[in-house]
Structure 1
Amino acid sequence: MKLHLKNPIVFFDLETTGINIANDRIVEIAILKVNVDGSEESYCYKVNPEIPIPQVTSEIHGIYDEDVKDAPTFKELGKTLAKIMEGCDIAGFNSNKFDVPLLAEEFIRADVDFDMKKRKFVDVQTIFHKMEKRTLSAAYKFYCDKDLNNAHSAEADTKATYEVLKAQLDRYEELENNIEFLNDFSSFNRNADFIGRIIFNDKGVEVFNFGKYKGKSVEEVLKKDPSYYGWMMNGDFPLFTKKVLTNIKLRSFNK
């Protein structure tokens, strides 16, 4: 089934130095851009993470320090990626929980002004888990009747993710073929940041989603306990979470 698109959509996948969103770095990014007319553009870049890649991680995705030592850094590549993704909705596999937050961190570190919150996000893994509860390789076999060779290759995973989404639309009549619906369907909650430390409650108010102030209005907490802002800003939270927190704090000053 061909996707019904109002905007171009980019399917992307990352290979990284690890799974810590705040501290780990991208070593490879693959992008499959699907235009409104259905035409496709593919991009794949190795990235110098500027930190060592742990041996155990390299053994998973096959990318070693030697492979990326001459590759551009994300700071050098960031504007190119932003241009490719400009005006596009975004899709991936487990992307809402990992790839999107980590990519947002890299854009912030590189001082690239790329507002990812303006996008619609489709997480094919979430659709799969709601419908079948398996992995990408199993999803590819289940929906496309193909074996996923070169799993953990960003380029292979990206192409497979695109094919799985199209097959999901063919299989499930209850799935609407538009990105706004898929954005909503593939989200488990209403995150204000990408990793869900701050979420919107049923009244559209940002509340903390962890710790001693879980469920409490961020704005009210910052008024009653100003030191909490400093604790979070100095803590091991992603840069995007800190950016959201700061925007809420600044907004309250202007009221």
Structure 2
Amino acid sequence: MHTLHLKKPLAFFDLETTGVNVARDRIVELSVVKALPNGETEVRTRRVNPEMPIPLESSLIHGIYDEDVKDSPTFKSIAKNLAVFLEGCDLAGFNSNRFDIPMLVEEFLRVGVEFDVKNRKCVDTQRIFHMMEPRNLSAAYKFYCGKTLIGAHGAEADTLATFEVLQGQIAKYEGVKVLDSKGVEYEPVKNDVAALHDLTASKIIDFAGRMVFNDKGEEVFNFGKHNGKKVTDILKNEPSFYDWMMKAEFPLDTKRRLTEIKLRALTQR
């Protein structure tokens, strides 16, 4: 039994997918917990054949590989039953307004099954979390240092607070072990700047984040039609993309890093 006051069913759902590009990627698993006004719940979870390969970097996150879904039904084959199950339901999830709902809507549109969200209420618990537990410097200073930040948004006050926050984080987390995406235990926070860099900035190529390192350590684009594709492959196979980026309104740092990768690729041929 749940304690929510509901006038209609509220369907909590989460999707595991081949990636985060709503237009291109597909669902590989979905779970729905339908909370009913009478206090009862119904749970449905199933794997889905995405009809495309699951990238290794995605499999390492959710643990679902091509072999696991090869005999699962396609979304098209379950779409009508799923739409019926969600009929009359409001929707809820964690970061659902930005990802899960758009992805689900896209999948329904792709197979021609009606699924309109206009008359549904959408509850995103992540928004509530971030609103009630702010993730700004003042909140961090209160959490790690137990003090109220006086003069927030003044450069010196913020800088001194950040200095104290890092010391507080090291004091709190040094020696604390967590599990990585593969379930292996490790100690992420160490009193060592190189280790802290690896933890917080090791995947940065350009500071705008238009390019990042994938799980194999390869430079890949992090936006647009080439999202997730190796930078060197695109520079080789579609040289006009480089020209477009150099003329478009990208930061100079991004253009400089892209040029460095291009020159390095040329010297390695």
| Alignment TM-score, normalising by the size of structure 1 | 0.52
Q: Compared with structure 1, are the counterparts of its residues 150 and 109 closer, same or farther at alpha carbon in structure 2 (3 Å cutoff)?
A: farther
Identity %: 59
Name the counterpart of 1:15.
Answer: 16
3-state SS of paired residue (1:122) = strand
Give me the whole-angstrom Cα distance separating, in 1, the residues matched to 2:79 and 2:41.
21
Q: Compared with structure 1, are the counterparts of its residues 19 and 31 closer, same or farther at alpha carbon in structure 2 (3 Å cutoff)?
A: same
Aligned runs of 1:1-255 on 2, under 5 Å?
2-133=3-134
Give the RMSD, CA atoms, in angstroms. Answer: 2.0
Q: Compared with structure 1, are the counterparts of its residues 89 and 2 closer, same or farther at alpha carbon in structure 2 (3 Å cutoff)?
A: same
Give me the whole-angstrom Cα distance separating, in 2, the residues matched to 1:130 and 1:106.
30
Give me the whole-angstrom Cα distance separating, in 1, the residues matched to 2:27 and 2:118.
20
Paired AA for residue 88 in structure 1? C
Deviations 1:78-114 (A, max 9, x none): 0111011000000000000000000000000111111
Offset of residue 2 of structure 1: 1.1
Give me the whole-angstrom Cα distance separating, in 1, the residues matched to 2:43 and 2:179.
17
3-state SS of paired residue (1:98) = helix
Runs of 4+, deviation exceeding 4 Å:
149-152
Give me the whole-angstrom Cα distance separating, in 2, the residues matched to 1:133 and 1:123.
16
Give me the whole-angstrom Cα distance separating, in 2, the residues matched to 1:9 and 1:35.
7
For CA contacts below 8 A with separation 6 or more, give which structure has more relative contact order: 1
Offset of residue 150 of structure 1: 10
Give me the whole-angstrom Cα distance separating, in 1, the residues matched to 2:7 and 2:13.
19
Give me the whole-angstrom Cα distance separating, in 1, the residues matched to 2:5 and 2:105.
26
Give me the whole-angstrom Cα distance separating, in 1, the residues matched to 2:54 and 2:132.
35
Deviations 1:18-61 (A, max 9, x none): 00011110000000001110100000010000010000110000
Q: Compared with structure 1, are the counterparts of its residues 48 and 55 closer, same or farther at alpha carbon in structure 2 (3 Å cutoff)?
A: same
Give me the whole-angstrom Cα distance separating, in 2, the residues matched to 1:151 and 1:53.
20
Q: Compared with structure 1, are the counterparts of its residues 103 and 118 closer, same or farther at alpha carbon in structure 2 (3 Å cutoff)?
A: same
